[in-house]
Structure 1
Amino acid sequence: MASLFDINVFGLFGQLLIGLINGSFYALLSLGLAIIFGLLKIINFAQGALYMLGAFMAWMVLQYFGINYWAALFIVPLAVGLIGVIMERFLLRRISNEDHLYSLLLTFGIALILQGVFTHIFGSSGLSYKIPAELKGGFKLPFMYLPTYRAWIIVVSLLVCGLTWYMIEKTKLGAYLRAGTENPKLMQAFGINVPLIVTLTFGFGVGLAGLGGVLAAPIYSVSPYMGADLLIVVFAIVVIGGMGSIGGAILTGLAMGILEGLTKYFYPEASTTIIFVVMVIVLLLKPSGLFGKEA
């Protein structure tokens, strides 16, 4: 356990960087979950499997079709989003009038199927995905060495999260989206195709998971289980931020990543549980979450 009086600046900032990178992935996946639950009231337990699917798709299009990382950044999220559209249209819509527990069970089953299929085809060991040549190397800062690809992940995640928040909270399209999910009959009376809005919203939410998978492929081992443990952490983050709070999911994801990094430096044994400890405390003090609204 590191003492407050015996701090290695390089080690501390190194862990903070790792925490910020993890927080970037947490923010992306939490944002997708918050959009899907906050606007559609669907508990998507397949988000981690779709994140894994995004990483595998990036690997497969490179290996089998020669499609590089830059093209995969656009193609894979669209492909995963299309899979999300099919899921919502042909599976989730059939139970849209049932209790939220049914959507949780259905998406959990989809996650297990995806994980099982990829384990059968590729095995449980990880596959490597090379960092693109343009993003190799790094920057030598006064207090640490910052790899270029890590910096790229942070910038892209913050940019995507910021633009998504602005679109949903500050634009007319976002207003239509919120109104269509809160009062669908009224919006349909005005000629708005609410079922289409719901389908596209779900597709966009899972597309964010696909984007996270592409970003993760070069630095994490691409394996069928890469999304399973991450999903539990992301759900905890969504609960801490407030179920359905878009801004809360982004801020809490980044904050929990940094907190996890700090914990790894000062008390590594607690780093795997610190987020869940925070979740318990928040649920006891403010059940609606830090940024959520009271029911």
Structure 2
Amino acid sequence: MDVAIPLPVIMIQLLLGLVNGSFYAVLSLGLAVIAGLLNIINFSHGALFMLGAVFTWMGMNYFQLDYWVMLVVAPVLVGVFGIVVERTMLRRLYRFDPLYGFLLTLGLASVLEGVFRSFYGVSGLPYSPPAALSGVSNLGFMVMPHYRAWVIAASLAVCLATWFLIEKTRLGATLRAATENPKMVEAFGINVPLIVTLVYGFGTGLAGFAGVLAAPLMPVSPLMGQNLIIVVFAVVVIGGMGSIMGSILTGLGLGLVEGLAKVIYPEASATVVFVVMVIVLLLRPSGLFGKGK
């Protein structure tokens, strides 16, 4: 006999799904920027997500910096770390098969997780949302925590700003041209290697930004990005490898699907994203928003 699911339960799960989808969108956006413009599969993205959260915890506990300062500082630090990695390691591999870059970033993720695990363990570090965002609002059919609303709003703002920058501005056109035909762009006096470095730094900075947002909602630990990155890769594949808007819409949409699955069929909630990925790959191998047939 079917049991009707109360509307408040559905709305709460959709809200939780939208919050998770916000993280998927920001993280997959960073991956899509790096993959689409630089043709690099950055498997260290989950570790960089963790790095943003850990940097925030360190800044607040060791240097007494507040959340709003770390919301800017932590992504910048992660972006600088990404720039160093690109200039000292990845740049040496561009002339080889992309698999080498993938293996390098995979090894880098393991090193980062191992280093922070040796200092902080895996149990998770305490972290609270800022006082200004610690309350809730009663919407009638559900209670909306202010911090979760902030996560959704901040994620959407960053995602849309990134899409506009890359797809609708002259700077974005230059970035795309520099990666598609670097020799022609260099003929106009543009420093293409510098552009490549900055794009990689920006993509890793997005992972750090997602880590700052996630820190008050999940235990800050060296392994916090390990499982998440698998889902994010699935999001990028479903949306279309390198598609900016595809990553944003797919991340948000799959978060909602995952949340709804927890209400309708909880046993499938952990695998529904991968089921969708298999179906999309069978019907449209280039992804929902990717180029190709």
- Tell me the TM-score normalized by structure 1: 0.98
Q: Is 1:135 matched up with 2:133?
A: yes
The aligned residue for residue 147 of structure 1 is 145
Letter in 2 for 1:93: R
1:235 aligned to which of 220, 229, 233: 233
State how far apart, in whole Å, the 2-side matches of 1:175 and 1:27 are: 22
Letter in 2 for 1:286: R
Aligned residue-pair number: 293
The aligned residue for residue 44 of structure 2 is 46
Partner deviation per Cα, 1:175-202 (whole Å, 9 max, x = no partner): 0000001000000000010000000000
The aligned residue for residue 266 of structure 2 is 268
State how far apart, in whole Å, the 1-side matches of 2:98 and 2:23 are: 26
State how far apart, in whole Å, the 1-side matches of 2:128 and 2:4 are: 37
Q: Is 1:37 matched up with 2:29?
A: no
The aligned residue for residue 19 of structure 1 is 17
State how far apart, in whole Å, the 1-side matches of 2:234 and 2:12 are: 25
The aligned residue for residue 118 of structure 2 is 120
Contact 1:115 1:224 in 2 (8 A): yes
Offset of residue 98 of structure 1: 0.7
The aligned residue for residue 280 of structure 2 is 282
Unaligned runs of 5+ in 2: none
2:178 aligned to which of 164, 177, 180: 180
Unaligned runs of 5+ in 1: none
1:169 aligned to which of 161, 167, 176: 167
Contact 1:55 1:216 in 2 (8 A): yes
- 1:209-228 aligned within 5 A: 209-228=207-226
Contact 1:41 1:100 in 2 (8 A): yes
Q: Please identify runs of 4+ aligned residues in structure 1 that moved more than 3 A.
A: none
- RMSD between aligned residues: 1.0
Letter in 1 for 2:89: L
Secondary structure in 2 matching 1:290: coil
Offset of residue 217 of structure 1: 0.7
State how far apart, in whole Å, the 2-side matches of 1:97 and 1:145 are: 53
Secondary structure in 2 matching 1:228: coil
Secondary structure in 2 matching 1:153: helix
Letter in 1 for 2:272: I
- Tell me the TM-score normalized by structure 2: 0.99
